[in-house]
């Protein structure tokens, strides 16, 4: 067993309020330079919606991620060796500026310097950051879906809704929405690295952070196509690829990532995972996409297991990293409690950003059953009464395995109910206590 360490993140979607503080602080720190105007290493999407860049989940269009051949081997759909020069020079599988957006700024200086006696209200006009010209209309931007959140229109354009065949209902009662913050997943089996013909993309051995060597990058942009999450960007000023660095200079001095530190909802849990590097390829090539979650979880190692601790030492993982893995909430959320799921496991990159799915109680159903709006004991038995359709969450987080998402939601309800009873000094329901693996007393 070859033990390696990986920095991973778990985001609790119930707690995201869509304030975009994470995106803005990340932008201030990392992409506030010429050539990076349109880049959002961290973005927050309103779901359902088309996301940023538009329809990034449509792998038929963008040719991202891995394909599994008949012999069970994986190969990246994009890039790889330099033999396909023609396709590299005219790589058609990349989002254009219309899919990201044309970044703009407002002429605030003109607004503030308007003469006092101006008769009409001054207007701050928008100016393109790419061309420097005025923009008469602005028709697209990151999280443009926000204003339409939950509408039939966003649902009709959402690639996940189309894939799971979600029926569009137009009544306001049946609408749903939630926020999905996204960064690079610092995958265990990254296609961006496999797609790069120059060997510029690499995964750091000490902590698993995926980076671009700016000296080696030749601007082929196969990583942009190859990443199924569309989390590599091309800097048109330097001619090089750029991406989320998981704030490694901050991590190296013991600080959290900017997005974790500034998150208003406190929903980002950052920590260390230990995994068996010898089994990564086998896990990623698991035949049935719905088994990928278990395969991915299976290669995570229990940092308290003496055999794992010994193997970690033999593999050169410093003791401090093993201690960090033991103290990390990430392993517990993924493994012990099993409430965190990877985004689109079917892309086979083994993403290391995990999500606790949102609970979305239909409050009137709960009150009709005799509970108050916070009564998760009732929800525990009625997860089918959630506002967000199970099939939609399953299309996003479990390759369509609705039973898995239902299990996670039930467990979350049970945990809340259990803790609520304790706080209210009531006797916890033994059935629910059993469901969360706790004693009924
Ligand atoms: Fe690479 Fe990050 Fe995309 Fe994974 S999410 S393939 S690590 S750029
Ligand atoms: Fe969500 Fe936190 Fe980002 Fe606000 S800062 S949008 S709560 S992830």
- Distance from Cα 92 to the centre of ligand 1, integer Å: 19
pLDDT tens sequence for the chain (441 residues): 999 999 999 999 999 999 999 999 999 999 999 999 999 999 999 999 999 999 999 998 988 999 998 898 999 887 555 445 545 555 668 899 999 999 999 988 888 888 888 888 888 889 999 899 999 888 888 888 887 877 888 888 899 999 998 887 767 777 889 999 999 999 999 999 999 989 999 999 999 999 999 999 999 899 999 999 999 999 999 999 999 999 999 999 999 999 999 999 999 999 999 999 999 999 999 999 999 999 999 999 999 999 999 999 999 999 999 999 999 999 999 998 899 999 999 999 999 999 999 988 766 666 666 666 666 666 666 666 778 888 999 999 999 999 999 889 888 888 888 888 888 888 877 877 776 665 443
Please state the three-class secondary structure of the chain as a single string.
CCEEEEEEEEEEHHHCCCCCHHHHHHHHHHCCCCCCCCCCCCEEEEECCCCCCCCCCCHHHHCCCEEECCCCCEEECCCCCCCCHHHHHCCCCCCCHHHHCCCEEECHHHHHCCCCCCCCCCCCCEEECCCCCECCCCCCCCCHHHHHCCCHHHHHHCHHHHHHCCCCCCCHHHCCCEEEEECCCCCCCCHHHHHCCCCCEEECCCCCCEEECCCCCCCCCHHHHHCCCCCEEEECCCCEEEECCCCHHHHCCCCCCHHHHHCCCCCEEEEEEEEEHHHHHHHHCCCCHHHHHHHHHHCEECCCCHHHHHHHHHCCCCHHHHHHHHHCHHHHHHHHCCCCEECCHHHCCCCCEEEECCCCECHHHHHHCCCCCCCHHHHHCCHHHECCCHHHHHHHHCCCCHHHHHHHHHHHHHHHHHHHHHHCCCCCCHHHHHHCCCCCC
Closest CA to 51 of 177, 150, 141: 141
CB within 8 Å of 27: residues ≥ 6 apart: 39, 40, 41, 42
| Ligand 2 atom nearest residue 25's Cα | 5
Quick one: which ligand is closest to 21's CA?
2
pLDDT for 212: 98
Asked if residues 8 and 272 have their Cβ atoms less than 8 Å apart, the reply is yes
Q: Locate the domains of the chain by residue range.
A: 1-101+140-356, 360-441
- Distance from Cα 284 to the centre of ligand 1, integer Å: 14
- Distance from Cα 208 to the centre of ligand 2, integer Å: 24
Ligand 2 lined by 342 (C-beta under 6 Å): no
Quick one: which ligand is closest to 233's CA?
1
Quick one: which ligand is closest to 212's CA?
1
pLDDT for 83: 45
CATH topology match: 1-101+140-356 vs 360-441: no
If you take atom 2 of ligand 1, which residue's CA is the nearest one? 184
If you take atom 7 of ligand 1, which residue's CA is the nearest one? 186
If you take atom 5 of ligand 2, which residue's CA is the nearest one? 263
| Ligand 2 atom nearest residue 44's Cα | 6
| Ligand 2 atom nearest residue 181's Cα | 8
Quick one: which ligand is closest to 347's CA?
1
pLDDT for 191: 96
pLDDT for 366: 67
The alpha carbon of residue 24 and the mean position of all alpha carbons in its chain are separated, in whole angstroms, by: 17
With left for phi above 0 and alpha for psi between -120 and 50, is residue 230 left, alpha or beta?
A: left
Asked if residues 201 and 190 have their Cβ atoms less than 8 Å apart, the reply is yes
Ligand 2 lined by 265 (C-beta under 6 Å): yes
| Ligand 1 atom nearest residue 65's Cα | 6
pLDDT for 381: 66
Domain 360-441: which topology? nitrate reductase domain fold (1.10.3650)
pLDDT for 293: 97
- Distance from Cα 324 to the centre of ligand 1, integer Å: 24
Quick one: which ligand is closest to 183's CA?
1
If you take atom 3 of ligand 1, which residue's CA is the nearest one? 227
Residue to probe by mutation, ligand 2, list 13, 44, 52, 259, most atoms within 8 Å of CB: 44
Domain 1-101+140-356: which topology? Alpha-Beta Plaits (3.30.70)
Q: Which residues line ligand 1 (CB under 6 A)?
A: 184-187, 190-192, 210, 227, 229, 231-232, 243, 349
Predicted TM-score (pTM) of the model is 0.92
Closest CA to 354 of 179, 159, 185, 178: 185
pLDDT for 440: 42
CB within 8 Å of 185: residues ≥ 6 apart: 229, 231, 342, 343, 349, 351, 352, 353
């Amino acid at each position: 067993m070859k033990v390696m360490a990986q920095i991973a993140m778990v985001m609790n979607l119930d707690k995201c309020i869509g304030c975009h503080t994470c995106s803005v602080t990340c932008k201030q720190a990392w992409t506030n330079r010429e050539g990076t105007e349109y880049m959002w290493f961290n973005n927050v999407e309103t779901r359902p919606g088309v996301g940023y860049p538009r329809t990034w989940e449509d792998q038929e269009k963008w040719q991202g991620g891995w394909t599994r051949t008949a012999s069970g081997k994986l190969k990246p759909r994009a890039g790889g060796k330099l033999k396909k020069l023609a396709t590299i020079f005219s790589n058609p599988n990349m989002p254009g500026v219309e899919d990201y957006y044309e970044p703009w700024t407002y002429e605030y200086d003109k607004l503030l310097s308007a003469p006092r006696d101006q008769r009409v209200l001054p207007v701050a006009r928008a100016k393109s950051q790419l061309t420097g010209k005025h923009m008469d209309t602005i028709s697209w931007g990151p999280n443009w879906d926000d204003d339409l959140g939950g509408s039939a229109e966003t649902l009709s354009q959402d690639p996940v809704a189309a894939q799971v065949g979600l029926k569009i209902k137009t009544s306001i009662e049946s609408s749903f929405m939630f926020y999905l913050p996204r960064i690079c997943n610092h995958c265990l089996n990254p296609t961006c690295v496999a797609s790069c013909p120059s060997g510029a993309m690499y995964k750091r051995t000490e902590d698993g952070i995926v980076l671009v060597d700016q000296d080696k990058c030749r601007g082929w942009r196969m990583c942009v196509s190859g990443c199924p999450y569309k989390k590599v960007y091309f800097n048109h000023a330097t001619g090089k690829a750029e991406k989320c660095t998981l704030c490694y200079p901050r991590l190296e001095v013991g600080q959290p990532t900017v997005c974790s530190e500034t998150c208003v909802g406190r929903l980002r849990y950052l920590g260390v995972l230990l995994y068996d590097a010898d089994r990564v390829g086998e896990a990623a090539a698991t035949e049935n996409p719905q088994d990928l979650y278990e395969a991915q979880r299976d290669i995570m190692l229990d940092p308290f297991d003496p055999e794992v601790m010994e193997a970690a030492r033999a593999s050169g993982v410093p003791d401090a990293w093993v201690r960090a893995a033991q103290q990390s909430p990430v392993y517990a959320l993924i493994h012990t409690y099993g409430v965190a799921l990877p985004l689109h496991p079917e892309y086979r990159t083994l993403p290391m950003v995990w999500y606790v799915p949102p609970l979305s109680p239909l409050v009137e159903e709960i009150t009709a059953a005799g509970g108050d709006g916070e009564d998760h004991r009732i929800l525990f038995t009625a997860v089918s009464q959630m506002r967000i359709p199970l099939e939609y969450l399953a299309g996003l987080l479990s390759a369509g395995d609705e039973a898995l998402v239902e299990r996670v939601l039930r467990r979350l309800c049970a945990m809340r109910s259990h803790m609520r009873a304790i706080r209210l000094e009531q006797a916890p329901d033994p059935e629910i206590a059993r469901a969360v693996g706790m004693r009924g007393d």
